[in-house]
Chains A and B, each alone.
Chain A
Amino acid sequence: MSAAPNRRPFDAGRAAYLALNALLLAFLLLPIAIVLVFALNPTPYISFPPVGVSLRWFEKFFGSSEFMNALWLSLWVASVVLVLSIVIGAACALALARGNLPGRAVLTAFFMSPLMVPAILTGLALFQAYLLSGIGRPVWGLIAAHTLVAVPYVIRTTLAVLHNFDRRIEEAAAVLGASPTRVFFEVTLPLIRPGVFAGGVFAFIVSFDQFPVSLFLVVPKGETLPVVLFNYMKFDLDGAIAAASMVSILLALSVVLVLERLIGLKAYVKL
């Protein structure tokens, strides 16, 4: 006769741990759930409990040329910001980690400073600078501003990868006959890519969601989605706002998923 299977004793600590996790998850997801409820509720004002399910606010959002223009502008700006901040951020991180630059700590803090300064001040400062230098408020000015705020994210994630980088791997490539340029493209770049693109995802979202900086730098008829939503909310507070929020969330999520699929952010567990 075999022994009876041992029953795992009740573990109060583990139960508490799981409960805490469930609580945190609820805290993070509940606001999104509430937005979804409002987006689907047909009443022309935000109310609770919901009285039914309808897609009228989504129809209104997608049917409004004002919203659609803003959405496309936001997507376009965020995509350009993604590319620019990847290139600039990765280059900065490489220079900071590898360049033997004097005053490296100070330089790193300097490049990270857009994270420390409240975005509304960055927006105001750029607005004044643009006006004083006669640039005005072109789209590329907005893109430059977003890139400025987004680059630190790429620098941070790339530096994290570079910190754990075994440089012997590059040396091995060099001994095998790879020139410094080839070492960079064959070894260094592929290995830091997950960190760069993880930062790129942040950059996209930072730009796509950007409100305080954009507020100062957009022109009438050339406003990004967060600014249009803000202006809309000043007069109307109906389900269209909630629908727009849902669309934003889904777009951001799909960008993350697409990058994850294409690049495989988790592809290199071990460097």
Chain B
Amino acid sequence: MTSAAIKLDQVTKTFDGRVLAVDSVTLDIAAGEFFSLLGPSGCGKTTSLRMIAGFEHPDSGRVHVGGNDITDLPVHRRDMGMVFQSYALFPHRTVAENVAFGLRMREVPKPEIERRVAAALAQVALTGFETRKPGQLSGGQQQRVALARALVVEPPVLLCDEPLGALDRKLRQQMQFELKELQKRLGVTLVFVTHDQEEALAMSDRIAVMNGGKVEQVGTPTEIYERPRTRFVADFIGEINILEEGGLLRALRPEKIRLAAPDGARLAGTVETANYLGGSTLLRVRPTTGPSMLVRETHAGERASRTPGDAVGLIWNDSDAVALES
């Protein structure tokens, strides 16, 4: 399967001439990359995706795919795959007809359609479901049909708009593995929109964190998590402590803090609450001065070493407290 690089070049989109949805966004997505657009609702991630798909036309800026400027190309000539949160299967058609749709539009000969539909359904483990209607399938099965329908045309680009958002937690996790494995095997460029930071961290090669129509930071999951550039990124991804040192903000992850005796520690305080999370415990510590601190204690034994009311000291390395842009 071929894959194509995507470039958004200073793309801006307003709605009703007033609401600024996407504000001069520039992104370079490599061919074959699993790229996530991550952010809260209203941050412009879905609008950005819809401009790549061609559902929205940017007010200014250009969209390139595979080196070609496709900004003015209508949706149906862009040769992309897309998976929607609501699945958007054709309710009046069978599973096989749903998957065959894109091939039929491309006027692929009938025997080849049958062969490729069968292969696509096998790929998502839905062989035997050909004659069912979407309404007769579970959410996970519908999502796999949607995936097969998008991938059967072998698009160079696959766009996913919160595709796992409607699934329950266990199934979502399983689909995360399946989707990532499928993407690597096919080598397709995948643009994945999500508001779920865990999902983005788990699946992506790179992530763009968006806020208020702008890209706050682009980087690998490790970079985004370990080296957040702005306070928004630090806050949005995982738990964080924001320290203020001489007018400069620093971000410190709870797991970078170690518990110690109160004497001689960088901060001394009392454990307020201890939330047991299974493999670890998240402690909230109220220091003698300053705001509360979150501390993650990974425990080898059954429980955390501290309980609420205990006096503790906190220590951490300077290099783990990441300076944030103001």
Find chain B residues with CB under 8 A from A270 CB.
Answer: 91, 135
- A178 and B76 contacting across the interface, CB-CB below 8 Å: yes
The answer to whether B82 touches A175, judged by C-beta atoms less than 8 angstroms apart, is yes
Check if A174 sits within 8 Å of B92, measured CB to CB: no
Q: B106 — which chain A residues lie within 8 A by C-beta?
A: 177
* B88 and A172 contact, CB distance less than 8 A: yes
Segment at the interface with B among A76-84, A117-125, A163-171, A245-253: A163-171
Q: Contacts A166-B86, A270-B135 hold; do A175 and B91 have CB atoms under 8 A apart?
A: no
| Cβ–Cβ contact A175 & B101, under 8 A | no
List which B255-277 residues lie within 8 A (CB) of chain A.
Answer: none
User: Which one of B75, B82, B135 has the greatest number of beta carbons of chain A within 10 Å?
Assistant: B75
Answer whether residue A187 sits at the interface, using C-beta atoms and an 8 A cutoff: yes
> Per-residue 0/1 for B77-88: is the Cβ within 8 Å of any A Cβ (1 yes, 0 no)?
111111010101
Q: Which residues of A contact B92 (CB under 8 A)?
A: 190-191, 267-268
The interface residues of chain A lying within 8 Å CB-to-CB of B149 are 172, 176
Interface size class of A (residues with CB under 8 A): 20 to 34
Check A175–B75 contact: CB distance below 8 A. Answer: yes
Q: A176-B102, A180-B76, A187-B90 provided; 12 other pairs, C-beta below 8 A?
A: A168-B88, A169-B90, A173-B101, A174-B75, A175-B76, A176-B153, A177-B79, A177-B102, A177-B106, A179-B76, A186-B101, A268-B92
Cβ < 8 Å to A, chain B residues 59-81: 74-81
For residue B15, give the distance in angstroms from its CB to the closest CB of chain A.
13
Q: Tell me the complex Cα distance, A180–B77, Å.
A: 11
Please give the residue numbers on chain A whose beta carbons come within 8 Å of chain B beta carbons, in ascending order: 166, 168-169, 171-180, 182-183, 186-187, 190-191, 267-271
Q: Is B53 an interface residue (CB 8 A)?
A: yes
CB distance from A157 to the nearest CB of B (A): 18
In angstroms, Cα B76 to Cα A187, docked, is 14
Nearest residue (CB) in B for A267 is B92
Shortest B77–chain A CB gap in Å is: 8
Are A175 and B53 closer than 8 Å at their CB atoms? yes
B88 touches A176 (CB 8 A): no
Q: How far is the CA of A192 from the CA of B214 in the complex (A)?
A: 39
For residue B19, CB closer than 8 A to chain A, the reply is no
Is there contact, CB below 8 Å, between B88 and A169?
yes
Listed in ascending order, the chain B residues whose CB lies under 8 Å from chain A are 53, 55, 74-82, 84, 86, 88-92, 101-102, 105-106, 135, 146, 149-150, 153, 159
Which of A175, A179, A190, A267 has most B Cβ within 10 Å? Answer: A175
Given contacts A191-B91, A271-B91, are A182 and B84 in contact (CB under 8 A)?
Answer: no
Distance in Å: Cβ of A44 to nearest Cβ of chain B: 55
**A-B residue pairs in contact (CB < 8 Å), sample of 18:** A168-B86, A169-B91, A171-B53, A171-B75, A172-B90, A173-B90, A174-B76, A175-B53, A175-B159, A176-B76, A177-B76, A177-B77, A177-B79, A178-B101, A179-B74, A179-B76, A180-B76, A270-B135
Point out the residues of chain A lying under 8 angstroms from B79, CB to CB. Answer: 177
Q: Which of B55, B79, B92 is packed against the most chain A CB atoms within 10 Å? A: B92
Q: Are A166 and B88 in contact (CB under 8 A)?
A: yes
CA distance A172 to B90 in the complex (A): 9
A176 touches B86 (CB 8 A): no
Cβ–Cβ < 8 Å partners of A168 in chain B = 84, 86, 88
CA of A5 to CA of B89, assembled, Å: 46
Q: Are A176 and B105 in contact (CB under 8 A)?
A: yes
CA distance A169 to B75 in the complex (A): 14
Closest chain-B Cβ to A190's Cβ sits at a distance in Å of 5
* Bound Cα distance from A263 to B151, whole angstroms: 32
Q: Which residue of the partner chain B has the closest CB to A182? A: B105
Docked CA distance A182–B76 (Å): 10
Which single member of B77, B78, B84, B135 contacts A172 (CB below 8 Å)? B84
CB distance from B85 to the nearest CB of A (A): 8
Determine the chain B residues whose CB is within 8 A of the CB of A174 once the complex forms: 55, 75-76
Task: Determine the distance from Cα of A268 to Cα of B76 in the docked complex, in whole angstroms.
Answer: 26
Q: Which B residues are CB-close (under 8 A) to A269?
A: 135
CA of A176 to CA of B104, assembled, Å: 9
